Amino acid sequence: MKITSVKTAASTGHCMHLWVKVETDAGITGIGECVHGGHPAIAIINELAPKLVGLDPFEIDKIFEDTRRSLVFEGGFAGAFITALTGIEIALWDLKGKALGVPIYDLMGGKFRDKIKVYADCEVSPGLNFDETKRVVNGILERGFKALKIDLDIFAYGHIGSETEHYVKDRFNMTPTGWEHDRMVKLAEMVVEAAGPDVEVATDLHTRLDKHSAIRLARDLEPLKLMWLEEPIPPENIDTMREITAATSTPICAGENLYLRHGFRELIEKHAVDIIMPDIPKCGGLSECRKIANMAEIYSMPFAPHNVSSPIGTMASAHVCATIPNFLVLEFHWTERDYWTTIIKENRDIIKDGFIEMSDAPGIGLELDEEVAKKYQYPGTTWFE
C-alpha cells in the first residue's frame, strides 16, 4: 500500500479545525484533525504532500520523524510545523487501523480502561452572581459530567466592552489588584459550592499572573481542594513554575502550548508542575503523546490532555488516554456548539454521562460528515482539493 495524496480542509469551531485526508492506492483513506495551526499549517501540509506520495502509510513514526528531522531548520521543533505533522500523523493512524480492521488503541498495545473520563470547560457569569453560576453549573451536571473547568482570568483581564469594562485593568501587567485577586477566589468558591462535593473543579489562568501573585492565589484556593490550577504563568518559565508548584498544595497543571517530548522534558524532570496537559492534536500526535505520558509516569505525574477538537480529534485523543496508565481526565470544549453531534456521520454524542466509551470500530472509530463540516468551512480555505 502506498500514499497517493494528502489533502486538507478546515472548519470553524473553537478555532480552525484542520482536517487532513490521506488517500492510498488501496482505496483506504484516513482522516486526521489538528488545531491551532491556522493557515500556516495548511501551507506546510500542501508543501509536504508531494514528498509523502509513494510512502508506506504504515510506517507512521518513521514518516513523522524523517519529515521533522529533514526540516529542523524550518521549524521542526514546535509551532505550526509540528501541528501540521500532527494532522498527518493522526490520519495515518486512522488509515492503518482501518486497513487492519482494528481500533488504534489495539495498535498501541491495548487499553488500560474501557471508558475515558471527560471534564467540561464552561463559562460562568462574569459577575459574582451565584444564581447564574448555579444555573450554568447545573447545565453541565445535567449532562452527566462529574468534572468541570472554569476560567478565573478572562473577564478580569481581557473582555473589553460596555458591560464588562469595569473588570479590565492593564492587560499587560501580570500583577492583579487586591480586588481582582479576591474576585478570582470568590468565583472559584461559588463554582465549587454550586457543583457540590462529588464534582471535581479545575480552574484556568491562561498564563496571566506573575510568580508571587500566582503563589498567593494558589494558597488562597487550597481549602477548595481543586482538581488543578492551570497555567498561572507562561509555561516556558520552568524554574518559576517549579517555585509556584512547590509553594502550594493546590495542584498546578500546564502544557497545552508545548510541543514534542523535547518541550515537556524539563517541565517533567524538574517537577515544575503536578499534572501535564499536552494538546494531542496539536503538539505531535498520538505516538508522540504516548511517549510524553510514559515519560511523565516515571515521575508519578498524571496526564490530563487539553482538548478543543471536534469529536474526531477528541476520539483520537481518547485512544491515547486508553493506552496509558497515568491518565487522569480529558477536556471537552464544545458545550456551546450545536454541531458537535452532527459533524460526524455517526450523528451521536460520543460523551455519555461524562465518559467516552471506547468501541472496537477500526481506526479512530468515527467518520467526518463532510457535508455538515463544509457548512462551517473556514474562510479563505479550500476543501480537500
The overall average pLDDT reported for the chain is 94
**CB 108 within 8 Å of CB 291:** no
| Domains (range + CATH), the chain | 3-101+370-375 (3.30.390.10), 107-357 (3.20.20.120)
pLDDT given at position 180: 85
- The three cell numbers of residue 192 are 465549587
pLDDT given at position 160: 40
Which of the four pLDDT bands, split at 50, 70 and 90, describes residue 129?
confident
Q: Which runs of E-coded beta strand occur in the chain?
A: 3-12, 16-24, 29-35, 115-121, 147-151, 200-204, 228-230, 252-254, 275-276, 330-332, 351-352, 355-357
Q: Is the pLDDT of residue 165 over 50?
A: no
pLDDT given at position 163: 46
For the stretch 259-280, pLDDT in tens is 999 999 999 999 999 999 999 9
Which of the four pLDDT bands, split at 50, 70 and 90, describes residue 307?
very high
Mean pLDDT of 67-74: 92
Mean pLDDT of 198-227: 96
Q: Percent helix, strand, coil in the chain (nearest 5)?
A: 40, 20, 40
Q: How far apart are CA 95 and CA 184, in angstroms?
A: 46
pLDDT given at position 183: 87
Residues contacting residue 338 through CB under 8 Å, at least 6 positions apart = none
Q: Is the pLDDT of residue 166 over 70?
A: no
Return the percentage of the chain with pLDDT > 90, whole number: 85
Which of the four pLDDT bands, split at 50, 70 and 90, describes residue 126?
low
pLDDT given at position 156: 52
The CA-atom distances, in angstroms, between 274 and each of 14, 129, 173, 183 are 27, 31, 26, 25
Q: How far apart are CA 174 and CA 54, in angstroms?
A: 51
Mean pLDDT of 351-375: 98
Q: How far apart are CA 211 and CA 174, in angstroms?
A: 9
Mean pLDDT of 20-49: 98
For the stretch 180-192, pLDDT in tens is 899 899 999 999 9
User: What are 377's strand-pairing partners?
Assistant: 11
Helices and strands per DSSP (H, E), number in the chain = 14, 12
DSSP state of 327: B
Which of the four pLDDT bands, split at 50, 70 and 90, describes residue 168?
low
**CB 384 within 8 Å of CB 8:** yes
The CA-atom distances, in angstroms, between 337 and each of 22, 117, 137, 353 are 27, 20, 17, 18
pLDDT given at position 377: 98
Q: Is the pLDDT of residue 157 over 80?
A: no
Which of the four pLDDT bands, split at 50, 70 and 90, describes residue 169?
low
Q: How far apart are CA 140 and CA 266, in angstroms?
A: 36
Q: Is the pLDDT of residue 213 over 80?
A: yes
- The three cell numbers of residue 270 are 524538574
Mean pLDDT of 368-375: 98
Q: How far apart are CA 334 and CA 266, in angstroms?
A: 32
Which of the four pLDDT bands, split at 50, 70 and 90, describes residue 336?
confident
Q: Is the pLDDT of residue 226 over 90?
A: yes
- The three cell numbers of residue 66 are 524523517
Residues written for the chain: 385
